[in-house]
Amino acid sequence: MRESSPPDWASKPERSNMLMLRIMTWISLTLGRPVGRVVLRGIAVYFLLFAPASRAASRDYLRRVLPQPVRRRDIYRHFFWFASTIHDRVYLLNQRFDLFDIQVHGQDVVDALRADGKGLFLVGAHMGSFEAMRALGHRHALDVAMAMYEDNARKINRMLSAINPDLQQDVIGLGQLDSMLRIKARLEQGAMVGMLADRTFGADGTRAVGMLGAQADFPLGPFRMAAILRRPVVFMTGLYMGGNRYAIHFEQLADFSDIPAGGRQHEIDRTMMRYAGLLEKFCLHAPYNWFNFFNFWQPKPMVGDKGQQ
């Protein structure tokens, strides 16, 4: 693995994602889910025709996970599933869980790690829907908070305020002097603190890890934080399975509770490799759930290029 500075995509605003989020929020609140899902098809076609960078990123990803050559309808389906999860986000955040069939796999993993009364880290990705986790938390009266870098936290808080003002407190902004203390306090109260670890974590560095046949840069921050706070880490993904169906999966990534300081970096490296392996596993299992529409993988070095060692 190679440690590197944050990649180019770290500083680029996700214009297409935010545009789709605003459109789908209006559709969800105004037209309702059945009508909104009809409109989703037009939204997916729009992005298929007029978002060339996202289309190219989708094609690059899908060729890694599909058994057949990538067709335009595959890319369309990829956009449609992304739009579907954004559309459903509004209902999940408003606790309309009755609209969905949500299956849970690996709940016993979480229950065992929370037996000491303290919290744990949930590490996910821009894959499927993290909001499906809120449905599980509501069903089992679990305390679930989301930690993210401050700029993203402000965007999410604005969205939450418009949809359901009571949810603002569930987002912990990172990059502040008291961020670590706030997360530690929530963990000691028994909360599960979620982080997405497939994109840069503020100004923190990244490490290149192999996934789906190429190297990709993953942020070190989420794993370093879990190691410093000495808590278990569980991989979580809420996969969209079509229609109104979601499947939440939990798998243990690491337990930093008893790792000596001298072995911390080795355990972080091992955990990041396992994290990338689980992402690959679930990308192959449910390929249209991957929602990183940019150049995620590093290009292959040219022959004679000595820049990558």
Q: How do residues 215-247 score in pLDDT, each as one tens digit?
A: 999 999 899 999 999 999 999 999 999 999 999
> How many residues are given for the chain?
309
299 pLDDT above the threshold of 70: yes
Tell me which residue of 175, 205, 147, 193 sits closest to 10, measured CA to CA. 205
7 pLDDT above the threshold of 60: no
**pLDDT value at position 8?**
41
Q: How many beta carbons lie within 10 A of that of residue 133, not counting itself?
A: 26
Q: What is the pTM of this model?
A: 0.86
**pLDDT value at position 201?**
56
Confidence of residue 165 (pLDDT cuts 50, 70, 90): low
**pLDDT value at position 26?**
76
Strand runs labelled E in 19-114: 101-105
Specify whether the CB–CB gap between 229 and 242 falls below 8 A. Answer: no
**pLDDT value at position 18?**
55
For the record, the structure tokens of 249 come out as 């999966």
CA 281 vs CA 23, 205, 214, 226, 237: distances in Å: 32, 25, 15, 23, 11
Q: What does the DSSP assignment read for 282-299?
A: HHHHSGGGB---S--BPP
Contact partners, residue 211, CB within 8 Å, separation at least 6 = 276, 277, 279, 280, 297
Confidence of residue 39 (pLDDT cuts 50, 70, 90): confident
**pLDDT value at position 16?**
47
Whole-number percent of the chain with pLDDT over 90? 54
For the record, the structure tokens of 283 come out as 């990308």
User: In this structure, which long-range contacts are made by residues 48-52, counting pairs with CB atoms below 8 Å and at least 24 apart in sequence?
Assistant: 48/72, 48/75, 48/76, 48/79, 51/16, 51/293
141 pLDDT above the threshold of 80: no
Mean pLDDT of the chain: 84
**pLDDT value at position 187?**
94
What tens digit of pLDDT does each residue of 54-64 get?
999 999 999 99
Confidence of residue 301 (pLDDT cuts 50, 70, 90): low
**pLDDT value at position 159?**
66
Distance from C-alpha of 43 to C-alpha of 102, rounded to nearest angstrom: 25
| Strands 245-255 vs 232-240: parallel, antiparallel or unpaired | antiparallel
Q: What is the DSSP letter of 257?
A: G
Rank 24-38, 122-136, 276-290 by mean pLDDT and report only the highest. Answer: 276-290
Contact partners, residue 258, CB within 8 Å, separation at least 6 = 230
Tell me which residue of 243, 242, 240, 249 sits closest to 281, measured CA to CA. 249
Q: Which amino acid is at 73?
A: R
* Residue ranges per structural domain of the chain: 15-289
Rank 151-160, 164-173, 176-185 by mean pLDDT and report only the highest. Answer: 176-185
Tell me which residue of 191, 190, 196 sits closest to 174, measured CA to CA. 196
What tens digit of pLDDT does each residue of 69-122 get?
999 999 999 999 998 998 888 888 877 888 999 999 999 999 999 888 889 999
Whole-number percent of the chain with pLDDT over 70? 81
**pLDDT value at position 76?**
98
**pLDDT value at position 102?**
93
CA 114 vs CA 27, 188, 228, 299: distances in Å: 38, 11, 18, 41
